Structure 1
Amino acid sequence: MSKVAILQVGPYPAWDEGPLGEKFTLHRYFEASDTAAFLKAHGSDIRGIATRGELGANKAMIEALPKLEIISVYGVGFDAVDLATARERGIRVTNTPDVLTKDVADLGVAMMLAQARGMTGAETWVRGGDWASRGLYPLKSRVHEKRAGVLGLGRIGFEVAKRLAGFDMDIAYSDVEPKTYAPDWTFIADPVTLAQHSDFLFVTLAASAATRHIVGKQVIDALGPDGMLINISRASNIDEQALLDALENGRLGSAALDVFEGEPKINPRFLELDNVLLQPHHASGTVETRKAMGKLVYDNLVAHFEGRDLLTPVL
């Protein structure tokens, strides 16, 4: 019996590609020099897509696959998938929530600490000989007992806030409504007001058309010249031009970012700034979590084609 054909949109680690290749026929879209021709040649056979959160599956790709039944996303974010087209076609969509939640929260808090305490600059101070020649490193800001705002108290936001509680921080959050599972934290509905209340503002929202640029000039100015913005969600949740302007002219104190528009080719203006910590979209980047994510992509595909319930359906 022939294997089901799957379009593999981006590369995966060998431990994930191995099982996928054994179970399915993989068409490696990311290796094609002419992707349109590749889809035309193989599109009529493909019944599933295995993709990554930042790569997704757009309308043109979906429409090029007449037999498509399922899109399995490696990642929690599915904003790069054209859900409207998938819904119209009756195509199932899955993602990989929960398994990456705590790693993403860990990195967000680590980014806050590293930026607040100047850790990357301090290491350069030691390695470059400045400690020996110039003396002590310039003083930085404490984290404990400061005010933290969490924009989006879903799975990841909740885990971030739990960790911040360990630093005795005053924690507030914004969401569509107050959460019963957060009785000890302050609900502030308006993101601008939340930013005004915060020394550190974490962006942990799922991305959608409604949240695009929700962190714009007003929120950034409310956070202010002593505030820090930490983004471990999606780049689209922040107006990047407004952020760069504020970082350059001192209207925002600092930022720590794991996601960017057009990544990995980020805006070169970021590279000229010493008040932003830059990370390569690796919040879920641990061996343990990436293995769990890959297994969930595989398990959802297998469940669908064996007629069983999906493990983590989006649609």
Structure 2
Amino acid sequence: MPDRPHILTGFHFTKATLASFGERCRIVGHMDSPTPTAADIPPGTAGTVQAIVSTGSVGISDAMMAALPRLSLFCCYGTGYERVDLDAARRRGIMVTHGADANAPDVAELAVGILLASTRRLVRADKMIRRGEWKQRIPNRFGPIAGLTGGRVGILGLGAIGLEVARRLKGFDVEIGYCNRSKRSDVDFPYFPDVMALATWCDYLIVCLRSDASNRHIINADVLKALGPRGHVVNISRGWAVDEKAIAHALRNDIIEGAALDVFDQEPYTGTELLELDKLVMTPHFGGGTEHAQRRMTDLVCRNLDNHFAGKPVASPVPEFREWANAADAPRPR
């Protein structure tokens, strides 16, 4: 019986997920670094590794690809693939897949949850009670709370996750507008051609776009100023879509009212600037952390592994590689 394909993992997967990968492939090592280099490749494996299963926030560089001569597949567990060098992958004959919309409902659920946590100041209220300030009758330091009802929610990126967010927000009696690469014909929400126009219109801005090099720090100081002093920002896409220094400055100086981040430019977040901000809600990139989402994403990675090593087109190539995945010169196992 021939040996199973050799793979590396670059993420802390659950035991159940690793078992699913192990049923079809031989896991020859794990890379624990959040930004792996060739030095993180387990000794003795560089010449055998045929696929890597990791995340887009970890990604893979040209130098890493060069160190793995048999690599022909990189599977992103989740939607994003912002730190994958796609040009290098194409040049080296390496197919790249992602989680497409496998976790969209679950990420959308969290987006609405942390939007409510930010606008209704739930985390700050919880801390107030724990500090004993409620029973001490300390005056309400929050000021008036607008709430979502009657507000305007702008969705930046109306893809699978953005649509799920919009579906969940319809019950909150809000107006919904969106900015997308192109106007959609299947929705009747107001369309805005750029993020500045959307931020100027809305009260609450939810970042749902697919983050890549073209939209790094798309949420910057100018956008936050356009959003205004009653505005809130929610980011459940990828960390580098938001300029964290600009967010910190905007919150400290009342340029916006609040923000909620599930994703960060560097993960895990090890800085201190954001930790000092009471107006900021933070969660540890677990929008897709539900059992249902994990199961769907694991199944999709397994389909991609199975198809690739059977010589078939992968199930969910990244958009830039869709045509290539079905072409005669598509990457094959080495």
Quickly name the TM-score band, shorter chain normalised: over 0.9
**Cα distance, 1:308 vs structure 2:** 2.5
Contact 2:248 2:277 (C-alpha < 8 Å) held by counterparts: no
Count of aligned positions? 314
Aligned to 2:18: 17
Cα deviation digits, residues 78-125 of structure 1 (max 9, x gap): 111111111112211111122200111110011111111111222233
Aligned to 1:105: 108
Post-superposition, which runs of at least 4 consecutive aligned residues in structure 1 deviate over 4 A?
31-35, 135-139
Tell me the percent identity: 36
1:31–1:146 distance in 2 versus 1, CA, 3 Å: closer
The answer to whether the aligner puts 1:160 opposite 2:165 as a matched pair is yes
Aligned to 1:56: 59
1:197–1:60 distance in 2 versus 1, CA, 3 Å: same
Mapping for residues 139-178 of structure 1, pairs under 5 Å:
139-178=144-183
Structure-2 separation of matches of 1:101 and 1:136: 41
Contact 2:307 2:314 (C-alpha < 8 Å) held by counterparts: yes
**Cα distance, 1:22 vs structure 2:** 3.1
User: What SS class does the counterpart of residue 65 from structure 1 fall into?
Assistant: coil
Which residue type is aligned with residue 63 of structure 1? A
Aligned to 1:199: 203
Structure-2 separation of matches of 1:116 and 1:284: 22
Structure-1 separation of matches of 2:111 and 2:31: 30
Aligned to 1:280: 284
Aligned to 2:273: 269
1:109–1:86 distance in 2 versus 1, CA, 3 Å: same
List alignment gaps of at least 5 residues for structure 2.
322-334
Contact 1:198 1:223 (C-alpha < 8 Å) held by counterparts: yes
1:244–1:2 distance in 2 versus 1, CA, 3 Å: same
Contact 1:40 1:64 (C-alpha < 8 Å) held by counterparts: no
Structure-2 separation of matches of 1:22 and 1:182: 42
Instruction: Tell me which moved more, 282-291 or 265-274.
Output: 265-274
1:11–1:162 distance in 2 versus 1, CA, 3 Å: same
The answer to whether the aligner puts 1:122 opposite 2:90 as a matched pair is no
Counterpart of 2:79 (choices 76, 79, 85) is 76
Contact 2:37 2:63 (C-alpha < 8 Å) held by counterparts: no
TM-score relative to the length of structure 2? 0.88
CA RMSD of aligned residues (A): 2.0
1:195–1:37 distance in 2 versus 1, CA, 3 Å: closer
**Cα distance, 1:199 vs structure 2:** 0.6
Aligned to 2:47: 44
Structure-1 separation of matches of 2:20 and 2:70: 23
List alignment gaps of at least 5 residues for structure 1.
none
